[in-house]
Structure 1
Amino acid sequence: MSAAATGPSTTLSEGDLPPLFRINDQWAIARQSESFRAVRTQLIVLLLATATAMPAERVGNHVPAAFAALLYTLAIVLGLYTSRRRARAHWQAHRAVAELSKSLAWQYMVHGGPFDSQVRNPDALFAERLEERLRELRKVGWKDSRSGAATRGTGQITPVMRAVRAKPFAVRRDIYLRDRLLEQHDWYRRRAAQAHRASVRWSSLTAALTLLALVASALRALGVIGGWDLTGLFSAAAASGVAWQEVRRHRPLTYAHSLVEQDLETLRVAMSTTVTEDGWAEAVAEAERLMSPQHSDWLVHFGS
């Protein structure tokens, strides 16, 4: 898409944003998948170990017990490997960089936040704000993949970003309301619905497994199932379901994303009707604050 073609009828793509965003967004997705996959694998191995250990008391050889011991050992190894990989920490660091560069890019383009129309050198301010925050993130383990001075600071400002910034207020407003606020509002709405469905599904499953553990315990007490410890198996499965929900944070994310969705819709209506050019920079800064990972994490804390 050419810079000259950018306007209300053209949707900005991720290719128009800083290269730093695109690279770190990809890394964040990869590290997030790795983190969830590692936890899921460890929980499955632990559950299999419990299921294998159960018949060890009932059969006449030591093969099930040895296999269970092997699976428990594997679970320990997986835990140590996951700790060394620090996939979750890297995922959060890359996500922070991606969202930082994306937010600064949008504020720069539409004269929002500190990049209002009165700023004499917005390019220099963009470079200063970006590199200042990146220095802070390096302290927590983020590794900068950029090479050469051309990719730093103002090198992250794309031609389309400059073209959008040069457009009149009405055009910039329409681009921001459609390509940023509306897109993010829809994203939070979809994610809230997905998290709610997952929460209901996993809560129902863990409740069913807990009920089965209760039934198995009662039947064992009555001597119906003899020495088979089905209670332990169902309890371990229910505990794994609870642990997985804690990792994915389905219920807190439903709460957080729903609130952000509502706030963004209220702000979008105000910015499209009552917010004038004089109050535009402040309104954009508030919108970016609502969409920041820090704000979502803060809401997740209260939704837990």
Structure 2
Amino acid sequence: MATGTTPAPSTLLSERDLPPLFRWSDQWALRHQSESFKAVRTHLLVLLLATAAAMLIEQASGHLMAVLAAVLYGVTILLGLHTSRRRSRTHWQAHRAAAELVKTLAWQYMVHGGPFHSKVADPDAVFAERLEERLRELRKCGWEDSRDGVQELGKGQITPQMRAVRAKSYAARRDIYLRDRLLEQAVWYKNRAARAHRAAARWSALTAGLTLFALAAALLRTAGLLGGADLAGLLSAAAAAGVAWQEVRRHGPLTHAHSLIEQDLETARVAMSTTVTEAGWADAVGEAERLMSPAHTEWLVRFGG
């Protein structure tokens, strides 16, 4: 947790009270995310080592560096092919979308939000229909279903705790949602924005430093003070790798997106605790859940920066 940020609130609900499918999809999303970042990091590192070996060809005797550079460049090609076949990023995004889908449907079901308003005749059937319909779409995008039996489909994902919360009074459901969902998520986005901001600052400083060193090396080589080594080229390649890594992690855009979402959630929380009536509660919950959706975050990352 970021230093100086508001601590996460204590909750009455935990992830164990959400559908089992959420926990499974969340775990696999984290695994695929780690695999995706590790593959890119390894690819960039090997490419940088190949560049260093190529730079040292003129300095080393024999063909050792030439062979090493050729091998390393060949490895980068193989890594690229392996990464494209694994499709870790695609599977990561599909499982993350599934996890967030299950979570948002569970919360809307519990607090009578969105399509699960108090007047709906059969909320369990609506939950099952919405869940399976969206999962069919995600299955085409790389999501893998972990469920074995029919009892785990649709209504089988509704936990006893979810039904217990749904049975509570409007005031109780409102308080649970404002504390355990909106406040918890606002703190999460605030902490994530702070962490992304620090990472962006570190990597920007590193790439700027490497660029300055590359400039100095180029000037020294021009003045004949650096010998024949193309140190400027190696430093430039290292700076380019740093920029590429920042593009993969998207620290800057995520800082902006998470900060905006945190502000919007806090605004929604205040409004829902003061001015939103029971008649408008379902729509307000639906809008709050939209703010927390991966699609909304991705939109802000692309167009909000």
Letter in 2 for 1:32: Q
Percent same amino acid among aligned pairs? 72
Separation of aligned partners in 1, 2:10 and 2:267: 24
Q: Which residue of 1 aligns with 2:51?
A: 50
Of residues 46-55 and 252-261 in structure 1, the stretch that sits farther from structure 2 once superposed is 46-55
Once the 2 structures are TM-superposed, how far is the Cα of residue 52 of structure 1 from its aligned partner?
Answer: 1.7
Aligned equivalent of 1:108: 109
1:154-233 alignment, distance < 5 Å: 154-233=155-234
Contact 1:251 1:303 in 2 (8 A): no
Which secondary structure state, in structure 1, belongs to the residue aligned with residue 173 of structure 2?
helix
How do 1:1-304 and structure 2 match up within 5 A? Answer: 11-303=12-304
- The superposition leaves residues 251-283 of structure 1 with CA deviations (integer Å, 9 ceiling, x where unpaired) of 000010000000000000111111111111011
Deviation at 1:143, TM superposition (A): 2.1
Distance 1:56 1:243 in 2: 26
CA distance in 2, matches of 1:172, 1:93: 30
- What is the distance in 2 between the residues matched to 1:219 and 1:303? 42
TM-score, normalization by structure 1: 0.96
SS of 1:220's equivalent in the other structure is helix
Q: CA shift at 1:140, angstroms?
A: 1.8
1:10 to partner: Cα distance: 5.5
Three-state SS of the structure 1 residue aligned to 2:115 is coil
State the Cα deviation string for residues 64-118 of structure 1 (Å, max 9, x = none).
1111111111111111111100000000000010000000000000000010000
Aligned to 2:145, the other structure's residue is in SS state: coil
Shift of 1:303: 4.1
Question: For 1:235 and 1:302, how far apart are their aligned partners in 2?
Answer: 29
- The Cα of 1:9 is off from its aligned counterpart by 8.4
Give 3-state SS (helix, strand or coil) of 1:198's partner.
helix
RMSD: 1.2
Amino acid of the residue matched to residue 268 of structure 2? L
Amino acid at match of 1:129: R
Indicate if the aligned counterparts of 1:253 and 1:303 stay in contact, CA closer than 8 A. no
C-alpha deviations, 1:212-246, integer Å up to 9, x for none? 11111111111111211001100000000000000
TM-score (norm 2): 0.95
User: Residue type of the partner of 2:97?
Assistant: A
Is 2:268–2:288's contact at 8 Å kept on the other side of the alignment? yes
1:53 to partner: Cα distance:
1.7
Moved more, 175-184 or 68-77: 68-77
| TM-aligned CA distance change 1:89 to 1:10, over 3 Å | closer
Gaps of 5+ in 1: 1-7
Tell which deviates more after alignment, 140-149 or 272-281.
140-149
Cα separation, 2, equivalents of 1:289 and 1:162: 23
Q: Would you say how many aligned residue pairs link Structure 1 and Structure 2?
A: 297
Q: State the distance in 2 between where 1:207 and 1:302 align.
A: 25
**CA distance, structure 2, for counterparts of residue 10 and residue 134 of structure 1:** 28
Q: Quick one: distance in 2 between partners of 1:110 and 1:152?
A: 22
Aligned equivalents of 1:136 and 1:35: distance in 2? 22
Unmatched 5+ residue regions in structure 2?
Answer: 1-8
Q: Is the 8 A contact 2:111 2:173 kept in 1?
A: yes
Letter in 1 for 2:303: F
- Residues 269 and 15 from structure 1, CA distance in 2 versus in 1: closer, same or farther, beyond 3 angstroms? same
Partner of 1:5: none
Per-residue deviation, residues 103-156 of structure 1 (Å, max 9, x unmatched): 000000000001000011100000001011111112222221211110000000
User: Greater shift after overlay, 139-148 or 184-193?
Assistant: 139-148
Cα distance in structure 2, aligned partners of 1:303 and 1:200: 19
Q: Deviations over 1:10-36 (max 9, x none)?
A: 610001001110000000000000000
